[in-house]
Amino acid sequence: MSRPIVIQNASLYGDTVATLVVEDGVITAVDSDTRPEGAVVIDATGLVALPGLVDLHTHLREPGREDAETIETGSRAAARGGWTAVHAMANTTPVADTAGVVEQVWSRGQEIGLVDVYPIGAVTVGLKGEHLSEMGAMAHSKARVRLFSDDGVCVYDPVIMRRALEYVKAFDGAVVQHAQDLRLTEGAQMHEGEVSAELGLAGWPAVAEESIVARDALLAEHVGSRVHVQHLSTAGSVEIIRWAKGRGINVTAEATPHHLLLTHEEARTYDPLFKVNPPLRTQTDVDALRAAVADGTIDIIATDHAPHASEDKDCEWAAASFGMLGLETALGIVQKVLVDTGAATWRDVARLMSEAPARIGSVDDAHGRPLAAGEPANITLVDPRAAWTVRPEDLASRARNTPYGGIELPGRAVITLLRGVPTHLDPRFEGAFA
């Protein structure tokens, strides 16, 4: 059993300064003079207290590609980034399309204990888009899967997509779609536009994403089901989501930190670290995404943490794999592009990176809870003034494919608590728990 913890003078949600008392994995008092015997006392002056962050889009690569990431290394990276729960994508080897595989991932996450790992099940067998997976068996397994995705591949067949949307209604699940028209993006390497033309790289048109977003919103409306759209990247997709919500369709959407910060101009370096799916778009798209996050059209921010072995990135652009690391840098990027610019508050960050993703993932009984007495002590303390320079070699992930090497970010998580147990401590706080 962990020692009681008293967190003094924390700025709850960046607003009210208060003291949190944690005992036996629960917040037992807020702004109280209670001091349990033997408690660890933390002076949190200047720190922002948030509910533990919840990532709805993480690739942990285990089983199958442990050379790129493992559940242990990915969990450690998540804890350092302030996350207390992550949803692990199904594109492993073997694919997480059976109860046995998702239970293996869930059990390994529980064994490691740094974050709660919630497996996402595949929509189709082997991610091949031909036959529905054992969604019911996964939903009723000990992993309690509620989200299903073929992420990395679009559920392209509208009949299969419709059947999946109908099936998940039985257990209040959701289909999580990687929106990409496969025919329109065959051989595509980056965003289709002036830069791709100049560089001679095959273009990836915005309509390839937007057409699938529109189709799936209409399918969700038709069957009365729930669809979540991953990593929106275009201004057109934002408008479709806004339209769908105005129509009352049960659709949610996410943006990634990299699509909120970077543009297709980065491809001019031909550095594969900037090669990602969907591709980095224009500044106009970035601005539209930021505005949609600020006004609530986009529900959450998710990392799409995609670790790769060095040989999959240390090569020419065309041969490189898509994807980049995100768990340890997400919070700093969100502060940089949203909080420090005045586009969002820390309370908005709590909604975007904890409360809403927990609700969408159906884990809001344990995560994304208020910082209030009687609630689970899943807490992230952020130092918004702890500027740091990203060094790939210092990251906890087994992979090194971050595009942010050498970039200074304004803040970071300094303490992460999972049910009252420290899973990450900045060195300045390690002595208090010794």
What pLDDT, on a 0 to 100 scale, did the predictor assign at position 142? Answer: 98
pLDDT digits (tens, 9 = 90+) for 286-330: 999 999 999 999 999 999 999 999 999 999 999 999 999 999 999
Q: Give tens-digit pLDDT for 67-83.
A: 999 999 999 999 999 99
Distance CA 214, CA 219 (A): 9
pLDDT higher than 90, residue 335: yes
pLDDT at 33 over 90: no
Average pLDDT of the chain is 97
Query: What pLDDT does residue 7 have?
Result: 97
304 as an active site residue: the answer is yes
Least confidently predicted of 20-34, 194-208, 254-268? 20-34
Of these residues, 181, 216, 285, 304, which one is catalytic?
Answer: 304
Q: For 386-397, how does the pLDDT look when each residue is reduced to its tens digit (9 = 90+)?
A: 999 999 999 999
Predicted local confidence at residue 1, as pLDDT: 59
For the chain, where do the domains classified as CATH 3.20.20.140 start and end?
52-360
324 CA to centre of own chain: 12
Residue 47 has pLDDT above 70, yes or no: yes
Predicted confidence (pLDDT) per residue in 88-115, tens digit:
999 999 999 999 999 999 999 999 999 9
pLDDT digits (tens, 9 = 90+) for 116-170: 999 999 999 999 999 999 999 999 999 999 999 999 999 999 999 999 999 999 9
CATH 2.30.40.10 residue ranges in the chain?
5-48+375-433
pLDDT digits (tens, 9 = 90+) for 197-234: 999 999 999 999 999 999 999 999 999 999 999 999 99
pLDDT-derived band at 379, boundaries 50, 70, 90 = very high
CATH number of this structure's domain 5-48+375-433:
2.30.40.10
Say which CATH architecture domain 52-360 belongs to. Alpha-Beta Barrel (3.20)
Summarize the annotated binding site for substrate as residue ranges.
59-61, 91, 277, 308, 322-323
pLDDT of residue 324: 98
**Residue 414: band (very low, low, confident or very high) from pLDDT cuts 50, 70, 90:** very high
* pLDDT on residue 397: 98
Q: Would you state the pLDDT for residue 396?
A: 98
